[in-house]
Chain A
Amino acid sequence: MRLPKGAFALAGVAVLALSACGGGGSSSASPGTATLNIAFLPKAVNNPYFDVAATGGQEAATALSGQFKQVGPSDATGAAQIPFIQTLTQQNVSAIVVSADDPNAIAPALKQAMSKGIKVVGYDSSPATDARNVFINQADSKGIGEVQVQMVCDEIPGCAGDIAILSATSTATNQNAWIDFMKAALASNSKYSGLKLVKVAYGNDDPQVSTTEAQGLLQAYPNLKGIISPTTVGISAAAQVLEQTGKAGKVALTGLGTPNLMRKYVKDGTCKEFALWNVKDLGYLAYYTAALLVQGKIKGTAGEKFTAGRLGDYTIDTSTTVLLGPPFVFKADNIDQLNF
């Protein structure tokens, strides 16, 4: 009775092998029909940010009468995206739009998909350069830095006085790049000559530390006219502090945030405007670009120009990246249109 048990397992595996051989020819690819069957693969599903991007993808799909679906893992780990890429490859979708959790881990699977004629477009976070056709970049650092100086200038009467920055950690790559562009704009543009940057504080993207740092800024600089907080955690902590200390409306607040965290403060005037890239448009542009690649209207080479529906004209730059455009500015009159 001992060995037959082993034989059972072998029989089971043989069943698999046989069905594998039997099914070899049945993967019916139909490359002739250029139907748009484009799948979004975010880092994780049930994430509000990616769900908003998906609404943009859906909108583009409707406009182009293509198919849209979103699949993905429930945890954002590098390995988790691979089975989904392989599954989409088996399903013979026409393009995969992916936000890479681990750019290198998913590269072999994406290359395999590309070798079967599937187009790969990165959005939000790019896969390895050779494992995608095009990457849709949500924002460039220069634009993100400059728009924040522009906003604080708009909100401070006369665009003159002391301002401070409440950042994330002192080592945060994105924030540091933006702050450098803010400083450059303050120094080079005569429009901002009345503004004086007195301090860069670091709230470590921790609500408690950010609150303490914001209180510290108000204490240390009684003449402070404006705060720029280029991070979601910082800007909402600062808004709370301004409200509690009765400085709302006296000290201008702006920066980068999400509509759901900032809605209350925009409506009560604590923070009249803030910026972020338009996440819905990111999904729209990613779908549109993927569709054009599938239809052969663009090849994904540097220098190509194309029109992406309601968003207008774009150019693929030398690093085969497409820039979404200037950051989106949220104000009281448009904040209710977006939900993330």
Chain B
Amino acid sequence: MSALRDRLLARWETLLVVLLIAFLVLGTSLSPYFLSASNFSDMTSNLMEKAIMALPLALIIIAGEIDLSVESMAGLSSALLGFVFLLRWPLWIDIPLVLAVGALGGLFNGLLVTRAGLPSLVVTLGTLALYRGLASVVLGPQSVSGWPDSFTNFGFGDVPGTLIPWPFVVFAVLAVAFIFVLHTTWIGRQIFAIGKNKEAARFSGIQVAKVKTLLFVLSGTLSALAGVVLTARLSSARADNGQGFVLDVVTATLLGGVNIFGGEGTIAGVVLAVFVIGVLRNGLTLADVSPDTQSVVVGALLILSVAGPTAVRRIRSAWSSRSFVQSASHR
């Protein structure tokens, strides 16, 4: 059964690789400018904030919850960074401070979900509005610029001698760490166990509330980090930074094969899905397809990414019940 599940998951990732190649071919045919190193470099740098947010979101969804507030936390982080920068505090104080506020924001989400017992969908929909509102209160309608070159080069520049954007390096390190923790450690096994069956997990000694709360803290912190990266890339701190990201982040996570009902998913799938969406959007933009049409495509992809695995699971459970019936009748 477990081997079967693994095979199906592997198939989902195979499907994503096929999808990625299909979109690469599509992009190449749509525009002669698609297939170039500098285009892939640009595309990657535009994706990284969303990619960083998708990693902790994958863990939260695997654990059976959701965090919709990620983009507003990035906005609040950007606004706060701008605010303290205007106070002329040095960046080595500003950035840890902003990350700490991100952790607090995540803790707030986590406590409301685990201690107050509220549904995470509602809690984080609330903080989606709340954190964006706070961002506007902190910074108002202004945009803060004048960042040091080292900071903006980190956001917009490439690793010297290559076309690899710096934010990609951050993301790659995080992705490797997430793959390691989720798929090889007891922490990862606890997260899967919570998502599969919360009660069973609790009875086997897992501190469900604590693990979930920590996942929300992680999500808040990394969303704040995404806000810092975004501020560096734009060389501009604004309260509306990151607005509208949540569609792509959730789509990437679910398209990556993370089960919306919890208990299943891989980081590898999420990483692939981030690039699938990135390649798709980039190809469509190069072909001068309007952003409204792109949203139609991404929205359809979101529904497909939930409908696809659900269909696979239905087929799978039909198989396993049949084999169960068969083995029972043989007995």
Q: Using CB atoms and an 8 Å cutoff, list the residues of chain A in contact with chain B.
A: 1-13, 15-16, 19-24, 26-28, 45-46, 69, 71-75, 77-80, 82-84, 86-87, 89-92, 102, 104-105, 107-109
Chain B positions within 8 Å of A28 at CB level: 32
Docked-complex contact B17 and A92, CB < 8 angstroms: no
Chain A positions within 8 Å of B34 at CB level: 23, 90
Docked-complex contact B275 and A102, CB < 8 angstroms: no
Docked-complex contact A22 and B35, CB < 8 angstroms: yes
Docked-complex contact B33 and A74, CB < 8 angstroms: no
Closest Cβ of chain B to A174, distance in Å, is 15
Q: Using CB atoms and an 8 Å cutoff, list the residues of chain B in contact with chain A.
A: 3, 6, 9-10, 13-14, 16-17, 20-21, 24, 31-42, 44, 46, 143, 145, 152, 156, 163, 175-176, 179, 183-184, 230, 233-236, 238, 240-244, 266-269, 271-272, 275, 279, 281-282, 285-286, 288, 290-292, 295
Chain B positions within 8 Å of A23 at CB level: 34-37, 39-40
Docked-complex contact A20 and B10, CB < 8 angstroms: no
Docked-complex contact B267 and A90, CB < 8 angstroms: no
Docked-complex contact B24 and A19, CB < 8 angstroms: yes
Closest Cβ of chain B to A58, distance in Å, is 15
Docked-complex contact A6 and B230, CB < 8 angstroms: no
Tell me whether chain A's interface is mostly helix, strand or loop, or mixed: helix
Chain A, Cβ-Cβ closest to B144 = A104
Docked-complex contact B285 and A21, CB < 8 angstroms: no
| Residue in contact with A78 in the complex, picked from B33, B234, B292, CB distance below 8 Å | B234
| Residue in contact with B272 in the complex, picked from A9, A80, A102, CB distance below 8 Å | A9
Tell me whether chain B's interface is mostly helix, strand or loop, or mixed: helix
Docked-complex contact A105 and B291, CB < 8 angstroms: no
Chain A positions within 8 Å of B42 at CB level: 83, 86-87, 89-90
Chain A, Cβ-Cβ closest to B5 = A1
Q: In the complex, what distance in Å separates the CA atom of A73 from the CA atom of B268?
A: 30
In the complex, 23 of the A-B residue pairs with CB atoms within 8 angstroms, ordered by the A residue number, are A2-B183, A2-B184, A5-B10, A5-B183, A6-B183, A16-B44, A19-B24, A20-B40, A23-B36, A23-B37, A71-B288, A71-B290, A72-B291, A74-B290, A74-B295, A77-B244, A78-B238, A82-B46, A83-B46, A86-B42, A86-B46, A105-B143, A108-B152
Chain A positions within 8 Å of B269 at CB level: 5, 8-9
The 3 closest A-B pairs by CB, nearest first: A23-B35, A9-B268, A104-B145
Knowing A5-B268, A77-B243, A83-B285, say if A105 contacts B46 (CB, 8 Å). Answer: no
Closest Cβ of chain B to A57, distance in Å, is 15
Q: In the complex, what distance in Å separates the CA atom of A16 from the CA atom of B28?
A: 13
Knowing A23-B37, A74-B292, A102-B143, say if A12 contacts B272 (CB, 8 Å). Answer: yes
| Residue in contact with B234 in the complex, picked from A10, A19, A82, CB distance below 8 Å | A82
Docked-complex contact B152 and A15, CB < 8 angstroms: no
Docked-complex contact B16 and A12, CB < 8 angstroms: yes
Chain A positions within 8 Å of B286 at CB level: 87, 90-91
> Told that A5-B269, A20-B41, A87-B42 touch, could you supply 14 new A-B pairs with CB distance under 8 A?
A2-B184, A9-B269, A9-B272, A12-B272, A21-B37, A23-B34, A23-B36, A71-B285, A79-B230, A84-B285, A87-B285, A90-B36, A91-B33, A105-B235
Closest Cβ of chain B to A70, distance in Å, is 9
Chain A positions within 8 Å of B268 at CB level: 5-10, 12
Q: In the complex, what distance in Å separates the CA atom of A10 from the CA atom of B286?
A: 26
Closest Cβ of chain B to A74, distance in Å, is 4
Docked-complex contact B236 and A12, CB < 8 angstroms: no
Docked-complex contact A15 and B37, CB < 8 angstroms: no
Chain A positions within 8 Å of B36 at CB level: 20, 23-24, 26-27, 90
Closest Cβ of chain A to B159, distance in Å, is 13
Closest Cβ of chain B to A105, distance in Å, is 4
Closest Cβ of chain B to A83, distance in Å, is 5
Chain A, Cβ-Cβ closest to B25 = A19
Docked-complex contact B272 and A8, CB < 8 angstroms: yes
Chain B positions within 8 Å of A12 at CB level: 16-17, 20, 268, 271-272, 275
Closest Cβ of chain A to B283, distance in Å, is 10
| Residue in contact with A19 in the complex, picked from B35, B236, B240, B288, CB distance below 8 Å | B35
Closest Cβ of chain B to A37, distance in Å, is 12
* Among A8, A13, A28, A69, residue most surrounded by chain B Cβ atoms (within 10 Å): A8
Chain B, Cβ-Cβ closest to A45 = B290
Chain A positions within 8 Å of B39 at CB level: 23, 27, 90
Knowing A8-B17, A13-B275, A90-B39, say if A27 contacts B238 (CB, 8 Å). Answer: no
Docked-complex contact A9 and B46, CB < 8 angstroms: no
Q: In the complex, what distance in Å separates the CA atom of A79 from the CA atom of B238?
A: 10
Chain B positions within 8 Å of A21 at CB level: 37
Q: In the complex, what distance in Å separates the CA atom of A1 from the CA atom of B184?
A: 11
Chain B positions within 8 Å of A80 at CB level: 244, 291
